[in-house]
Amino acid sequence: MSAGILAHLLGRQPYKELAGKAAAAGFPYVQLALSKAISDVDFSLGRLSPGLAQEVGGAFAERGVRIAVLGCYASLIELDDEAFRHNVDRFKEHLRHARHFGAPIVATEVGVPANPSDAALRAKHAERLNRALGELVEEAERWGVAIGLEAAQRHLIDSAETLAETIERFPSSCVGVVLDPCNLMNAPKFEDQNRTIEEAFRLLGPRVVSAHSKDLRRQPDGSLAETASGLGELNYPLFWRLLAQHKPHGFVTLEAVTEEQMPEAARFVREGRAAAREGTASR
């Protein structure tokens, strides 16, 4: 069983050097956010082309590293028309060229509301999200690429429930889930984390296209702090077991990890996934 890495955690650098560094670190795949990870190419809107995508994707492939996911973390709930159109068009551009990078998925968190407690404002943000996804689903279906939606605290989509509701509005097979169990947690939910994890797989399991792996630790003030996988308190045996049941060979990408922590975090993921798969297979 494998573990990948968010490419920019290896340091923003020229794409050939980045590909080599990922390979040297033993990662078989990466999640690549172009502008965050690559320093020697201008990826601003309108610059992508099949040739550029194949050049970058080929550099990774030559070193035995797949681009599992393109990260395009642009807010899809912007109320400013110009910012909204830029972000949607940028995501569309990623969808059109993903296959040339060798990536089957383009992933995003949807955006943070300007004032989460203002119901009327949240409704406006929700309208923007629906409008964006209407366009993006059509584009994803045209090019045969999956959209990976990720829930995150403080975002408009902040739980398994709100993510499931969104998918119900857009039932296309091109709409999938990037599942990060830590992103579903706040302090109260972490106290009942098993239920939170189980509910996430009940609602979203069949639609998972990729997963993220980091960890959480309780702080003295009751808040939660992110740390590398295996260094916190998340019930990863439960998460690995459910992931093995639903998506046994799915991508799992490390987050919240330093370069020094990467070997041990990757080992933690590989061994945990392998043990869960063996346990599931033996039933």
> What are the per-10-residue average pLDDT scores of the chain (283 residues)?
94 98 98 98 97 98 98 96 98 98 98 92 97 98 98 96 96 96 96 98 98 97 96 98 97 98 98 90 52
Q: How far apart are CA 279 and CA 253, in angstroms?
A: 22
pLDDT at 281: 58
**Bridging pattern class, strands 224-227 and 215-218:** antiparallel
Q: Which residues pair with 67 in a beta bridge?
A: 30
Count up the domains in the chain and report the number. Answer: 1
How much is the pTM? 0.96
Task: Give the domain range for residue 44.
Answer: 4-281
How much is the pLDDT for 87? 98
CATH, residue 114 = 3.20.20.150
* pLDDT for position 227: 98
Judged on CB neighbours under 10 Å (0-12, 13-18, 19+), 219 is: exposed
